C-alpha cells in the first residue's frame, strides 16, 4: 500500500515504484511489480495505449524476418511468448496462420524452409501448428503467376486492449493508475524521487517513490533530458510504421506475409470480419511522435505491394482508415530503418534513487521485459515476490480455455434479445468480464440508450468505470474498434453522453 507523508497541508503519497507511461511496457511493468507486493503508481499523459501500443501490426509473433538479422535471442523469447499470451488472454489473443507466397528471385525456397524450421523449433510450441509448403490453385486470391508458398503459425492480438488489461491487472493488485496525468518533472530526494504530475486541467500534485521507471516509449530520451535532467545512456531511433484498412481482400481467416522487391515484408491481415489490414512501413521519423500520420508515399508503397500480389487491385479511394505509430528503437547505428534491432534494452541508473529506462521492445515480449525490469530492481526491494505473470490470466481471460465461442453463446442464452454479433464482440473484447459489464441486466432493454452501431450506454459506463475511458476516441478506437463503423452523428451522440456522464461524477482521486 502507498503511504501518506504530510508536507505542509498536502499529504504526499509515497510508493515503492512510479512508472511513467501507460503503453504496453509501462502497464506490463506496473502489473508485474504490483503482483510482487510493491506499491505502484503509474501515470499516462494521454489515454492508455494512445500512442505506439495501439498502432502496431497487432501480432504476437516470433518475427520471421528477424532471423535474417540473426536476432535469435529475441525470436526465441518471442516465439515462446505466443503460447504464454494465448493462455493468459484467450479472449484478445488468437492463433493465426500466415501464408508466405514464394518469390524465388527474392529468397530461395531452401532459405525459407530453413527459416521456418528454426521458427518451428526455436521456441516452445504446444498449441500452434507447425509450418508446411502450400500450392495455390485457380481459386486463390493471389495472381495466377504465384503458384506456391509456405504456411506457418503466429498469433493476433488486440494491442490496445492488451495494455488496458495489464493496467486493470495492476490496479487489481493495488496499483494507482492515473491517466491524462503527465510527469512534468522529477528530482532525486534522499532515498528516492519526488515526482511532479500535471492533470489535464492543469492542476499539479506530487508523489514520492523509491524507484522510477521511464516507460515513455518514443519520449524515453526526451523525458530523461527535459523532465529528469539526466543524460540518456542510449540513442533512440524513431521509425514510423503505417497501416491502411480496406474492405476484405480475400476469404479465409489466414494472413498473408508478402515479400516486396526491396526485401521488406508487408502483412495483409483479416481485421474485424469485414476488413483487411495492410502494413507496415519503416520510415525514419524526426517529428513529434504524437503527430505522426501516414504519408502519400507510404500509401503508394503499401498499395504497390498488395497489388503486386493479389488479383484484385485495391484503389486509393477504397482505403477506409489508416493509422501510424512510431517505433522507439534502441539506436544500433544501422543504416536501414527496417534492420534496426527490435530487441529491448533496459538501462538502470543505480544509486539511492534508482531510475530504470526502457528502450525499444515489442508488444510480444512485454511480459519478459517486465520480468527483466523486476530482476534489475530486485536489489532495492529484496523482499519482493517471485515472477508470477506467466501463468496468471489477464482480466477476462479467467477460466476461458480457448472457448471464446462458448462464452458468446452463454451471453446470448442469458440475455434476452442480445444479438449474436454483439455477444461475439463482447466475448472477444471483455472475455469473462462481460458478466461484470452486464451486472444484473438480463434483457437487452437494460443496456440503455444505443449510441451507435451496437454500442449501448451500459458498455460505455463500464468502460468509464472499469477501463479509464473518458473521451470518444478511447471508446471508439482503443477499448473497441467501433470507430470504423461509427458515423459523425453517432460520434456526436457518444461525445454528448460522455460529457454528461463525466459532469455528474467525481473525478478519479489521485
Ligand atoms: C507500425 C508498428 C508496428 C508494430 N507491430 C508490432 C507487432 O505486430 N507486434 C509486436 O509485438 N510489436 C509491434 N510493434 C512494436 C510495439 O508496438 C512497441 O514496441 C510497443 O507498443 C512500445 O510500447 P511502449 O509502452 O514502449 O510505448 P508507447 O505505447 O508509446 O507508450 C509510451 C507512453 O508514455 C506516455 N508518456 C510519454 N511521456 C510521458 C510523460 N511525461 N508523462 C506521462 N506519460 C508519458 C505516452 O503518452 C505513451 O502513451 C510495432 C510498432 C509499430 C510502430
- Same-domain pairing of 448 and 492: yes
- Same-domain pairing of 197 and 217: yes
374 close to 387: Cβ distance less than 8 angstroms:
yes
What pLDDT score was predicted for residue 509? 44
Q: Is the pLDDT of residue 27 over 60?
A: yes
User: Which of 307, 330, 353 lies at the terminal end of a domain, its last residue?
Assistant: 330
What pLDDT score was predicted for residue 510? 46
What pLDDT score was predicted for residue 68? 86
Tens of pLDDT, residue by residue over 118-134, are 999 998 889 999 999 99
Indicate whether 396 belongs to any domain: no
Which of 182, 327, 338, 343 gets mutated to test ligand 1 (max ligand atoms within 8 A of its CB)? Answer: 327
- Same-domain pairing of 215 and 317: no
Tens of pLDDT, residue by residue over 90-108, are 999 999 999 999 999 999 9
Among 9-18, 149-158, 438-447, the range scoring the smallest mean pLDDT is 9-18
Coil vs helix vs strand at 206: strand
Q: Whose CA is nearest to atom 45 of ligand 1?
A: 21
Q: Is the pLDDT of residue 1 over 70?
A: no
Among 4-8, 334-338, 405-409, 492-496, the range scoring the smallest mean pLDDT is 4-8
CATH code at 200? 3.50.50.60
- Same-domain pairing of 312 and 265: yes
- For the chain, percent of residues with pLDDT exceeding 70: 97
Indicate whether 18 belongs to any domain: yes
- Same-domain pairing of 174 and 265: no
Cα of 67 to ligand 1 centre, how many Å? Answer: 23
User: Which of 282, 305, 330 lies at the terminal end of a domain, its last residue?
Assistant: 330
What number of residues does the chain have?
Answer: 510
226 close to 232: Cβ distance less than 8 angstroms:
no
Indicate whether 510 belongs to any domain: no
Residue-number span of the structural domain to which 475 is assigned = 404-503
Indicate whether 56 belongs to any domain: no
CATH code at 469? 1.10.8.870
- Same-domain pairing of 444 and 374: no
What does the alpha-carbon distance between residue 93 and residue 58 come to, in Å, rounded to a whole number? Answer: 9
Any residues with Cβ below 6 Å from ligand 1, and which? 20-26, 43-46, 50-53, 55-59, 61, 182-183, 215-219, 223, 227, 241, 280, 325-328, 358, 361-364
- Backbone angles phi and psi of 328, in degrees to 5: -90, 90
Tens of pLDDT, residue by residue over 194-243, are 999 999 999 999 999 999 999 999 999 999 999 999 988 888 899 999 99
CA 110 to the chain's CA centroid: 34
- Backbone angles phi and psi of 221, in degrees to 5: -75, -35
What does the alpha-carbon distance between residue 151 and residue 130 come to, in Å, rounded to a whole number? Answer: 8
Q: Nine-digit cell at 51?
A: 500512442
- Same-domain pairing of 355 and 208: yes
* Cα first-last separation, the chain: 14
Indicate whether 336 belongs to any domain: no
What pLDDT score was predicted for residue 11? 84
Which of 209, 363, 510 gets mutated to test ligand 1 (max ligand atoms within 8 A of its CB)? Answer: 363
What average pLDDT does the chain have? 94
- Same-domain pairing of 129 and 69: yes
- Same-domain pairing of 88 and 222: no
- Same-domain pairing of 317 and 362: no
Indicate whether 463 belongs to any domain: yes
CATH code at 287? 3.30.9.10
Indicate whether 398 belongs to any domain: no
Tens of pLDDT, residue by residue over 404-463, are 899 999 999 999 999 999 999 999 999 999 999 999 999 999 999 999 999 999 999 999
Indicate whether 345 belongs to any domain: yes
Q: Is the pLDDT of residue 506 over 60?
A: no
User: Averaged over 263-291, what is the pLDDT?
Assistant: 96
Cα of 151 to ligand 1 centre, how many Å? Answer: 29
Q: Give the Cβ contact number of residue 241 at 10 Å.
A: 24
What pLDDT score was predicted for residue 67? 87
- Same-domain pairing of 95 and 169: no
Closest C-alpha among 421, 399, 402, 403 to residue 412: 421
Cα of 453 to ligand 1 centre, how many Å? Answer: 29
- Same-domain pairing of 255 and 214: no
What does the alpha-carbon distance between residue 250 and residue 440 come to, in Å, rounded to a whole number? Answer: 41
Cα of 508 to ligand 1 centre, how many Å? Answer: 25
Q: Cα 212–166–509 angle (5° rounding)?
A: 65
Q: Is the pLDDT of residue 9 over 60?
A: no
- Number of domain units in the chain: 3
Amino acid at each position: 500500500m502507498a503511504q501518506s507523508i504530510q508536507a505542509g497541508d498536502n499529504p504526499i503519497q509515497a510508493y515503492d515504484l512510479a512508472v511513467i507511461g501507460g503503453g504496453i511496457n509501462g502497464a506490463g511493468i506496473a502489473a508485474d511489480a504490483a503482483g510482487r507486493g510493491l506499491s505502484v503508481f503509474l501515470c499516462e499523459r494521454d489515454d492508455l495505449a494512445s500512442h505506439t501500443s495501439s498502432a502496431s501490426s497487432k501480432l504476437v509473433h516470433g518475427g520471421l524476418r528477424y532471423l535474417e538479422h540473426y536476432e535469435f535471442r529475441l525470436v526465441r523469447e518471442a516465439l515462446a511468448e505466443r503460447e504464454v499470451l494465448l493462455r493468459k488472454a484467450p479472449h484478445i489473443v488468437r492463433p493465426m496462420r500466415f501464408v508466405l507466397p514464394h518469390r524465388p528471385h527474392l529468397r530461395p525456397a531452401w532459405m525459407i524452409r530453413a527459416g521456418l524450421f528454426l521458427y518451428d523449433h526455436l521456441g516452445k510450441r504446444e498449441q500452434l501448428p507447425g509450418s508446411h509448403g502450400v500450392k495455390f490453385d485457380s481459386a486463390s486470391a493471389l495472381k495466377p503467376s504465384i503458384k506456391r508458398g509456405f504456411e506457418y503459425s503466429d498469433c493476433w492480438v488486440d494491442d490496445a486492449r492488451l495494455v488496458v488489461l495489464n493496467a486493470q491487472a495492476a490496479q487489481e493488485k493495488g496499483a494507482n493508475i492515473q491517466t491524462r496525468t503527465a510527469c512534468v518533472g522529477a528530482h532525486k530526494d534522499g532515498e528516492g524521487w519526488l515526482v511532479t504530475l500535471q492533470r489535464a486541467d492543469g492542476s499539479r500534485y506530487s508523489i514520492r517513490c523509491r524507484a522510477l521507471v521511464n516507460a515513455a516509449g518514443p519520449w524515453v530520451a526526451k523525458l530523461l533530458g527535459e523532465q529528469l535532467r539526466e543524460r540518456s545512456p542510449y540513442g533512440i531511433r524513431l521509425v514510423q510504421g503505417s497501416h491502411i484498412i480496406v474492405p476484405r481482400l480475400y476469404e479465409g481467416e489466414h494472413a498473408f506475409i508478402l515479400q516486396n522487391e526491396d526485401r521488406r515484408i508487408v502483412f495483409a491481415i483479416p481485421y474485424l470480419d469485414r476488413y483487411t489490414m495492410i502494413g507496415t512501413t519503416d520510415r525514419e521519423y524526426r517529428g513529434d511522435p504524437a503527430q505522426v500520420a501516414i504519408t502519400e508515399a507510404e500509401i503508394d508503397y503499401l498499395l504497390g505491394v498488395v497489388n503486386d500480389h493479389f488479383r484484385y487491385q485495391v484503389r486509393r479511394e477504397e482505403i477506409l482508415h489508416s493509422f501510424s505509430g512510431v517505433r522507439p528503437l534502441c539506436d544500433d547505428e544501422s543504416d536501414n530503418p527496417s534492420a534496426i534491432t527490435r530487441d529491448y534494452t533496459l538501462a538502470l541508473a543505480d544509486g539511492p534513487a534508482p531510475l530504470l529506462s526502457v528502450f525499444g521492445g515489442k508488444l510480444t515480449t512485454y511480459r519478459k521485459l517486465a520480468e527483466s525490469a523486476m530482476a534489475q530492481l530486485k536489489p532495492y526491494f529484496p523482499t519482493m515476490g517471485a515472477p508470477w505473470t506467466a501463468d496468471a490470466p489477464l482480466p477476462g481471460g479467467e477460466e476461458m480455455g480457448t472457448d471464446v465461442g462458448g462464452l458468446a453463446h452463454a451471453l446470448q442464452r442469458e440475455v434476452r434479445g442480445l444479438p449474436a454479433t454483439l455477444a461475439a464482440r463482447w466475448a472477444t473484447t471483455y472475455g469473462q468480464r462481460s458478466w461484470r459489464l452486464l451486472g444484473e441486466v438480463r434483457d437487452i432493454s437494460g443496456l440503455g440508450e444505443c449510441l451507435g452501431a451496437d454500442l449501448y450506454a451500459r458498455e460505455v459506463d463500464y468502460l468509464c468505470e472499469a477501463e479509464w475511458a473518458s473521451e470518444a476516441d478511447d471508446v471508439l478506437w482503443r477499448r473497441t474498434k467501433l470507430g470504423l463503423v461509427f458515423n459523425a452523428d453517432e460520434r456526436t451522440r457518444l461525445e454528448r453522453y460522455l460529457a454528461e456522464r463525466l459532469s455528474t461524477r467525481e473525478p478519479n482521486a489521485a
